[in-house]
């Protein structure tokens, strides 16, 4: 490390943490990322990474090896039918027309509305409502209305509505019927279809490649450093402001700005040396992750109406999606139990090193952090995985036999709940919030204390937005613009 005085320390090498560090590094700031794990490969890999347009622009990530992929088709399978939302409008319309001619026509109008609604509206929904003198803007309409109502008004076909709704709620814990959830429809994957010019881009190679590009960028700047195998023990304070990070090996990294990607409760508990009481916890944000399993399979399942080439192209497949099924699953989730019928999101990714081998990423929304039977033990996680596999088997007999290996990412085992920080923090009772909609439209980097910013996951915009915002909280990035 070339510098002896740091401007910022980032705890956790999650994508958001790395983006924050990268933004600081490119602004000429001395920054160090500390990561408990031994290397980057232990950090998990999401199949999808939709990077925010702003992050790509700001960090010039393409110069560091980042490549983009076309938006994948989104496939809904129900009984003997399949509906494919191709990224190309007319192809999508042709697929929908087989089910509903009216809906096929309505798709274009809905995309136009989605693109308009994606422009943030600063005012809060309740405040707008109670002082409105005129009809709502499209963005406000989406902020006020539930996912289900917006879709019911736009379309007739239940499969299409379920397909879109499941993409909206995945990972949020919100019911599609939750008031003010409509904005979730403007999330990345759909927006990539509706408004490709809005700029959120699918990253080729997913989260792993995105992290690689970020690490390459940090390596390129000699004012930045990433320390693997370095676990933060305390966040030191001086004069009631964060002043650095103490590692478990006793090493002290002093810096006026600490950005933590750990759960805020955990970051708060790590504060030492405060004379006043610890800062009150901020209201918990949406912090729900779907159950996630990565299966390696030797044969693609046969699904009605979808050919193997489509599956292999990285399609996102939703099994029996419907508003009713999502609502029932959400009900079970709020009752801290598992649904009778899971709603699954599948993503097939060909394995680079082997032919006729695919990684199948399965995500299942509405899985509570703990259930009425207790927290997730290894045995109960296996049972959950069995439930997920059986649901696929029902549509494609013999699927189970094609599984060569399985790796479960979520839900984490009970003792690792607070392990990798906010990004993996599971639904607690508080996170059962029906409307995982942040107060302000946009990323959630929150200042917990002077000099300490916590990064919370968000479901708006693209990946990286929160990290970018976190980097700006210490006025360090802005300083560059002034200079």
Partner 1 sequence: MRSASQASDVIVIGAGVNGLICATLLAQARRRVTVVEAEAHAGGACKTIELVAGHRVSGLAHLIGPLDAQLMKSLRLHRFGLTLSAKNISTIAMSPDGRHITLDGDLRHTAQALAVHSQADAKAWSHYDGRLRKAAQQIERWVQGVPGGAAEQAKAGLFGGRATSKNGALDAEVASFIDASIAEVLDAEFETPLLKGALAFDAVLGSALPPRARGTALLAAMRRAINADTTEGYVHPQGGAGAFTSALLKAAEGAGVRVKLNARVRHLLFDNGRVAGVELQTGEAMHAATVVSSLDPKTTLLQFGASRHLPLAMKRRLNGFRVEGCTAKVNLALAGLPSFKGIDKRLLKERLILCTGIDQLERSFAAYEQGSFSPDPVMEITIPSTHDTTLSAGQHVLSAHVFYVPKNLASGSWDKAKANLMSCVGGVLRQYAPELPDMILAADVFVPRDIEAMAGTVGGHWHGGDLSLDQLGLMRPAVGLSRYETPVPGLFLCGAGTHPAGGITGINARNAASVVLAAEVRA
Which residues of this chain interact with partner 1, rule CB under 8 A?
Answer: 123-127, 129-136, 141, 144-146, 149, 152-154, 175, 177-180, 182, 283, 327-328, 330-335, 430, 432-435, 437, 439
Cβ 237 to partner 1 shortest distance, Å:
25
**Toward partner 1, which CB reaches closer, 131 or 405?**
131
- Report, in Å, the least distance between residue 194 CB and partner 1: 19
Q: How far is the CB of 372 from partner 1 (least distance, A)?
A: 10
Q: How far is the CB of 285 from partner 1 (least distance, A)?
A: 11
Buried-state track 433-453, b at ≥16 Cβ within 10 A, e below 16: bbbbbbeebebbbbebbebbb
Minimum CB distance to partner 1, residue 175 (Å): 7
Distance of closest approach, residue 420 Cβ to partner 1, in angstroms: 26
Q: Closest CB to partner 1 among 153 and 307?
A: 153
**Tokens 């920054």 -> residue:** 31
Cβ proximity to partner 1, 146 vs 157, nearer residue: 146
CB of 183 to partner 1, least distance (A): 10
The minimum distance between CB 141 and partner 1, in angstroms, equals 7
Closer residue to partner 1, CB minimum distance, 24 or 437: 437
Question: In the complex with partner 1, which residue's Cβ is closer, 51 or 180?
Answer: 180
For partner 1, the closer of residues 335 and 398 by Cβ is: 335
Query: What is d(CA 24, CA 382) in angstroms, rounded to the nearest whole number?
Result: 41
- Closer residue to partner 1, CB minimum distance, 42 or 129: 129
**Which residue, 314 or 339, is less far from partner 1 as judged by CB?**
339
């Amino acid at each position: 490390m070339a510098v002896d005085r740091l401007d910022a320390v980032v705890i956790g090498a999650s994508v958001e943490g790395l983006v924050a560090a990268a933004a600081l590094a490119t602004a000429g700031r001395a920054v160090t990322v500390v990561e408990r794990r031994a290397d980057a490969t232990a950090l998990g890999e999401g199949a999808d990474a939709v990077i925010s347009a702003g992050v790509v622009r700001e960090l010039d990530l393409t110069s560091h090896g980042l490549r983009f992929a076309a938006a994948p088709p989104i496939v809904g399978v129900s009984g003997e039918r399949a509906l494919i939302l191709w990224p190309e409008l007319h192809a999508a319309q042709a697929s929908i027309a087989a089910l509903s001619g009216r809906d096929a026509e309505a798709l274009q109008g809905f995309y136009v509305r989605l693109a308009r609604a994606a422009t943030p509206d600063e005012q809060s929904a309740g405040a707008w409502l109670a002082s409105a003198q005129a009809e709502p803007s499209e963005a406000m309409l989406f902020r006020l209305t539930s996912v289900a109502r917006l879709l019911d008004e736009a379309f007739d076909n239940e499969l299409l509505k379920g397909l879109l709704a499941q993409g909206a709620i995945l990972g949020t814990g919100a019911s599609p019927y939750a008031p003010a959830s409509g904005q979730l429809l403007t999330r990345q994957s759909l927006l990539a279809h509706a408004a490709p010019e809005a700029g959120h881009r699918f990253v080729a190679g997913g989260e792993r490649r995105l992290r690689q590009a970020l690490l390459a960028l940090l390596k390129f700047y000699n004012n930045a450093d990433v320390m693997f195998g370095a676990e933060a023990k305390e966040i030191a304070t001086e004069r009631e402001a964060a002043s650095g990070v103490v590692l478990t090996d006793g090493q002290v990294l002093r810096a006026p700005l600490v950005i933590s990607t750990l759960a805020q409760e955990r970051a708060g508990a790590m504060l030492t040396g405060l004379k006043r009481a610890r800062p009150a916890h901020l209201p918990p944000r949406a912090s729900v992750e779907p159950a996630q399993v990565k299966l390696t399979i030797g044969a693609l399942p046969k699904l009605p109406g979808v050919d193997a080439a489509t599956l292999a192209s990285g399609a996102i497949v939703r099994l029996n999606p419907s508003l009713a099924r999502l609502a029932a699953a959400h009900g079970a989730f709020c009752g801290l139990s598992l649904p009778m019928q899971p709603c699954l999101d599948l993503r097939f990714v060909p394995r680079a090193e082997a032919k006729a081998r695919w990684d199948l990423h399965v995500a299942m929304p509405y899985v509570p952090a703990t259930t009425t039977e207790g927290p997730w033990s290894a045995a109960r996680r296996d049972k959950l995985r069995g439930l997920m596999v059986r649901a696929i088997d029902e549509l494609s007999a013999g699927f189970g036999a094609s599984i060569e290996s399985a790796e479960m990412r979520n839900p984490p085992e009970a003792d690792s709940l607070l392990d990798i920080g906010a990004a993996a923090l599971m639904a607690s009772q508080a996170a059962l919030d029906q409307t995982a909609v942040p107060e302000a439209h946009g990323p959630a980097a929150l200042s917990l204390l002077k000099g300490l910013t916590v990064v919370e996951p968000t479901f708006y915009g693209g990946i990286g937005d929160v990290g970018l915002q976190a980097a700006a909280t210490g006025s360090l990035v802005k300083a560059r613009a002034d200079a």
